[in-house]
């Protein structure tokens, strides 16, 4: 079945943008739904705008476009426009939403937010600036579907949509593959737990199982690598130590690992003074990410011999956060 994409916006002032969205939607093989192309059914006896609200839940994706014009007031809701109600209907339905906002309007909104009590400020081309800015704020404050993509030209719109469609396709593929990987990981976890139980002639340890699941999660691969390096590849032997030690520093000492947190410079390079046997540079995920606007920092570590490790502050912060996370998983499993 071909996915349908509902395109929601004012019409007359945004025809060029709507046409760019339509062309992009058709280019990827999806079916656009636009009122001016007769793609909304009006035979049900409802008012034209009610037919739009009824159509939104049947579409797999909604593209919301906000420009300079506020739009036509809804028939039964004098304080809202048809576009606003279409957005609300999409939220109620749980539809996927891509919101595009004119970059100049976003610039005007910053001025408005800084001078909200100043009525003399003019916003060229906008008929109801306050109401439009309030609509944008409602979108951005929404608990979900609140991302806003700024655009300046039709070319921007096409590029933004193509990237979003590519990300959506990736996520859909992941949603199909991840359950299979999770099932395999669960089976492996159960096997490891059963082996442990048979060896100790005891019941399976739920803390052990929770720890193995955490370590086998692909998001924690860098933490798993640290644990393997610290235990010569015997992850199972590390779990009792993780349970026994409160933080990463205690764990490393218990594993007889000498470590030092040091500045390793920019990029992926390591100081020449280190006689590295194994080293790695990576972007921490999902922990230790920078604040918005801050430069993304690489996490780096190096092993100089089986019992000596060097790492930068970013890596140390990531490992400490991951260590706390695995401890929580083990505690919650009880």
* Residues 159, 218 within the same domain: no
- For the beta sheet containing 148-151, the strands, ordered from the edge strand earlier in sequence to the opposite edge, are 31-33, 4-8, 61-66, 96-102, 148-151
In this structure, is residue 290 part of a structural domain?
yes
Q: End of a domain among 128, 150, 172? A: 172
Structural domain range at position 315: 205-332
The number of CA neighbours under 13 Å toward the Cβ of 116 is 6
**Residue 119's CATH number:** 3.40.50.450
Interatomic CA distance for residues 92 and 13, integer angstroms = 27
Whether residues 164 and 53 share a domain: the answer is yes
Please tell me whether residues 51 and 152 are part of one structural domain: yes
Q: Does residue 80 form part of some domain?
A: yes
Same domain, 99 and 240: no
Q: Which of 172, 193, 222 lies at the terminal end of a domain, its last residue?
A: 172
168 and 214 part of one domain: no
Residue 70 pLDDT greater than 90, yes or no: yes
**Strands 61-66 and 96-102: what pairing?**
parallel
pLDDT per residue as tens digits for the range 105-117: 999 999 998 886 6
Contact by Cβ (8 Å): 151, 160: yes
Element (H, E) at 309: strand 308-311
Tell whether 163 and 25 lie within a shared domain: yes
Q: What is the torsional sign of CA 38, 44, 48, 53?
A: negative
Pairing of strands 148-151, 61-66: unpaired
Residue 187 domain flag? no
Asked if 56 and 95 count as a contact pair (C-beta separation under 8 A), the reply is: yes
Cis peptide before 286 (omega within 30 of 0): yes
pLDDT on residue 125: 94
Could you tell me if 168 and 89 lie in one domain? Answer: yes
Query: What is the mean pLDDT of the segment spanning 258-267?
Result: 75
| Residues 145 and 254 reside in one and the same domain | no
Of residues 135, 19, 149, the one with CA closest to residue 73: 135
Whether 194 maps to a domain, the answer reads no
Residue 268 has a pLDDT of: 45
Average the pLDDT over 147-174 and give the result: 88
Structural domain total, the chain: 2
Are residues 260 and 140 part of one domain? Answer: no
User: Which residue did the predictor score with more confidence, 287 or 186?
Assistant: 186
- 234 in the same domain as 113: no
Task: Give pTM, 2 decimals.
Answer: 0.54
Asked whether residue 192 is domain-assigned, the answer is no
Residues 51-78 as b or e (16 or more Cβ within 10 Å = b):
bbbebbeebebbbbbbbbbbbeebeeee
């Amino acid at each position: 079945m071909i996915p349908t994409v509902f395109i929601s916006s004012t019409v007359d002032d945004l025809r060029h943008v709507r046409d760019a969205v339509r062309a992009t939607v058709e280019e990827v093989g999806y079916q656009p739904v636009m009122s001016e192309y007769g793609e909304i059914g009006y035979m049900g006896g409802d008012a034209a705008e009610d037919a739009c609200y009824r159509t939104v839940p049947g579409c797999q994706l909604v593209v919301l476009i906000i420009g300079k014009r506020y739009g036509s007031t809804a028939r039964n809701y004098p304080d809202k426009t048809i576009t606003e109600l279409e957005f609300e209907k999409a939220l109620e339905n749980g539809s996927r939403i891509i919101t595009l906002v004119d970059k100049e309007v976003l610039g005007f909104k910053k001025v408005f937010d800084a001078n909200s009590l100043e009525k003399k400020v003019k916003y060229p081309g906008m008929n109801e600036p306050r109401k439009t800015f309030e609509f944008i704020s409602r979108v951005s404050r929404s608990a979900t579907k609140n991302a806003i993509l700024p655009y300046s030209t039709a070319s921007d719109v096409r590029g933004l949509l193509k990237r979003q469609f590519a990300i959506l396709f990736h996520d859909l593929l992941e949603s199909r593959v991840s359950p299979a990987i999770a099932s395999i990981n669960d089976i492996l976890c159960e096997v490891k737990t059963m082996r442990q139980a048979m060896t100790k002639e005891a019941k399976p340890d739920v803390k052990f199982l929770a720890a193995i699941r955490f370590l086998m999660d692909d998001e924690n691969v860098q933490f798993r690598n640290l644990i393997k390096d610290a235990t010569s590849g015997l992850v199972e032997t590390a779990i009792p130590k993780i349970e026994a030690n409160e933080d990463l520093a205690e764990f490393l000492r218990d594993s007889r690992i000498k470590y030092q947190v040091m500045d390793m410079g920019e990029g992926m390079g390591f100081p020449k003074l280190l006689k590295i046997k194994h080293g790695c540079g990576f972007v921490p995920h999902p922990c230790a990410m920078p604040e918005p606007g801050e430069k993304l920092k690489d996490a780096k570590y190096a092993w100089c011999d089986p019992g000596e490790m060097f790492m930068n502050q970013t890596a140390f912060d990531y490992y400490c956060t991951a260590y706390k996370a695995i401890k929580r998983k083990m505690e919650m499993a009880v």
